[in-house]
Amino acid sequence: MSGRMREITAWQRWGRPLAAATAGAVIAWFPFLAGREVPLFDLFDLAIHEAGHLVAMPLPRLVMFLAGSVAQVAFPVGMAAYFGYRRRDGAAASFCLVWAGTAAWDVSVYAGDAVRQSLPLVGGGEHDWAYILGPRGFDVLPMTESVAGVIEATGAMLAIAGIGVALGLAIRGGARRVTGEIPMTPDPAPDGADPWVVAATLPFRHGGSGKRQAASAAPGAEG
């Protein structure tokens, strides 16, 4: 199979990573500088949070209460791993890391509310982190502020790492020209050849040798 070479565009080399870094910086601004949830993302994070609870429903109660917050951060981290290692898409992976950082900030706010329990709960019920840090959980309620601080710091590191990776890809992509090969489908039949005859020479699973089929299709062949 032959291929032809083409230059990868500026958008692919540095434009897309730069856009990912910019978008990451924008969504990181909301929690870490403005101290508020990221619009739209908070709704999606909430859906993932509740899905985590549902999946872990048959498990022990402590695991079930933890599953919501863990899923909320683990999902974008998993997406970052998928894009980074499976798809080799550094721009998408870096943005997902920033998203994971903003989700962790949201979890830190919820954890920090374990003592006061002033946040409204979806559908009512019990406060996740009041249970997790309380006597029926890890029994470390006096350490609520420290736990929330660690979660927030982890989120900030994820966001910084995502923006940094995207910027690094943009700088490296802008400094070099990269070429790639596009595979081309070979011509199915030589010029002047009957494509049906050529196709009949190929082996088919359901009919045995294609050459025998071609021979049987030739004029004068026995039926």
Tally the domains of the chain.
2
pTM over 0.85: no
Contact present, 37 and 106 (Cβ < 8 Å): yes
Q: Are residues 45 and 25 in the same domain?
A: yes
Q: Is residue 83 part of a domain?
A: yes
Q: Are residues 209 and 169 in the same domain?
A: no
The tokens of 43 are what?
A: 């709704």
CA separation for the pair 171, 121 (Å, rounded)? 44
Mean of per-residue pLDDT scores for the chain:
84
Residues 6+ apart with CB under 8 A from 185: 1
Percent of the chain residues past pLDDT 70, beyond the cut: 75
Q: Are residues 105 and 202 in the same domain?
A: no
Q: Is residue 223 part of a domain?
A: no
Q: Are residues 145 and 208 in the same domain?
A: no
Q: How far is CA 34 from CA 39, 81, 105, 152, 186, in A?
A: 12, 28, 12, 14, 57
Please report which confidence band the pLDDT of residue 12 belongs to, taking 50, 70 and 90 as the band edges. confident
For residue 132, give the DSSP letter. H
Q: Are residues 200 and 150 in the same domain?
A: no
Q: What is the pLDDT of residues 79-107, one digit of tens each?
A: 999 999 999 999 999 999 999 999 999 99
Q: Are residues 144 and 203 in the same domain?
A: no
H or E, element range at 99:
helix 90-112
Mean pLDDT of 114-137: 92
CA separation for the pair 79, 99 (Å, rounded)? 10
Task: Report how many helices (DSSP H) and strands (DSSP E) the chain contains, helices first.
Answer: 9, 2
Parent domain of 27? 3-180
